[in-house]
């Protein structure tokens, strides 16, 4: 009897929290399907009187001569390039730090760890000045190139944590077979890192896809805008209040994130917890 009551109480609490977690998301979805007139008159309702797709077609057209097709293509391109860069360079660097010995190794490792906690505000201004001098403003280089240079320190750290769990005997065996570090990396360590690389790829995807600050300061040509910037245009004054299309495009922008989450949930949970527990 007592067990039943406690179980019921548990589920009741979980349901209430779930409602708070999901309501805003479902509300956005519902609003995107409501006729414009209904969005704020029956604001709280999660059920449109009838499904109206016109918000999606209106929103897709975008602003002036640039539509969301372009914004999505831009975002996908940047994300793809960052993914490639991260997957090429992060495990490469992580292998060097976790398996090889070299002078200043500990000092540089401390630098890596500290750079993970460094507020971006401290470096962003000189970075901007640097990229400006290189003529990289209004190009994707400032958003992409850093990924090829080790990517985020967090990714290097995450992969290092994983490499630590790979038995060193495998390296030794390969070494006896005459493999140098390059072959040990490409034929032993890199393939074994596959699970953590999935995690890294997912996070690289999320952070790039959602990034707002980078595109905000480096891109000021509408044709180059990403989805994040495109969405923020809806609320700027000169466009007027186009809430329906804004909700519709918001939903579309969240779709890739949610789809990836649906398929790779396990890897995400691992990524979130791995960095903290084995530290």
**What is the contact mask toward another protein in residues 213 to 252, using x (rule: CB under 8 A)?**
x---x---------xxx-xx-xx-------x--xx--xx-
63 binds another protein, rule: CB under 8 A? no
Nearest to 150 by CA among 105, 91, 192, 194: 91
Considering only 76-84, 105-113, 168-176, 193-201, which stretch makes contact with another protein by CB under 8 A? 105-113
Member of 185, 205, 225, 267 binding another protein (CB under 8 A):
185
106 binds another protein, rule: CB under 8 A? yes
Q: d(Cα 35, Cα 48) in Å, to the nearest integer? A: 8
Q: d(Cα 270, Cα 273) in Å, to the nearest integer? A: 5
Backbone region of residue 236 per phi and psi (left: phi > 0; alpha: psi in -120 to 50; beta: other values)? beta
Of the pair 12, 73, the CB lying nearest another protein is at 12
How near is the Cβ of 113 to another protein at its closest, in Å? Answer: 12
Q: d(Cα 228, Cα 69) in Å, to the nearest integer? A: 13
Size of the site for another protein (CB under 8 A): 92
124 binds another protein, rule: CB under 8 A? yes
Instruction: Write down how long the chain is.
Output: 279
190 binds another protein, rule: CB under 8 A? no
**What is the contact mask toward another protein in residues 128 to 167, using x (rule: CB under 8 A)?**
xxx-x-------------x-xxx--x--x-----------
Burial class of residue 208 in the structure, from the number of CB atoms within 10 Å of its CB (0-12 exposed, 13-18 middle, 19+ buried): buried
């Amino acid at each position: 009897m007592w067990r039943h009551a406690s179980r019921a109480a548990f589920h009741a609490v979980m349901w209430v929290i779930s409602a708070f977690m999901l309501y805003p998301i479902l509300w956005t979805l519902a609003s995107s399907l409501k006729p414009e007139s209904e969005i704020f008159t029956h604001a709280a309702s999660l059920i449109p009187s009838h499904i109206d797709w016109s918000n999606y077609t209106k929103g897709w057209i975008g602003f002036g001569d640039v539509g969301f097709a372009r914004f999505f293509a831009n975002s996908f391109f940047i994300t793809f390039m960052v993914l490639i860069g991260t997957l090429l360079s992060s495990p490469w660097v992580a292998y060097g730090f976790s398996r090889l010995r070299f002078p200043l190794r500990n000092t540089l490792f401390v630098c890596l760890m500290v750079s993970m906690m460094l507020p971006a505000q401290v470096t962003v201004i000189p970075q901007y000045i640097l990229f400006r001098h290189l003529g990289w403003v209004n190009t994707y280089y400032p958003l992409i190139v850093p990924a090829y240079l080790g990517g985020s320190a967090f990714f290097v750290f995450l992969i290092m944590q994983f490499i630590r769990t790979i038995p060193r005997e495998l390296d030794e065996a390969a070494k006896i077979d005459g493999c140098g570090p390059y072959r040990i990396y490409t034929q032993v360590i890199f393939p074994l890192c596959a699970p953590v690389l999935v995690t890294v790829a997912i996070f690289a995807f999320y952070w790039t896809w959602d990034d707002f600050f980078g595109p905000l300061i480096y891109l000021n040509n509408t044709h180059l805008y990403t989805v994040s910037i495109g969405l923020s245009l809806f609320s700027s004054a000169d466009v007027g209040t186009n809430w329906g299309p804004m909700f519709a495009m918001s939903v579309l922008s969240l779709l890739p994130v949610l789809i990836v989450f649906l398929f790779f949930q396990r890897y995400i949970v691992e990524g979130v917890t791995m960095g903290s527990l084995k530290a």
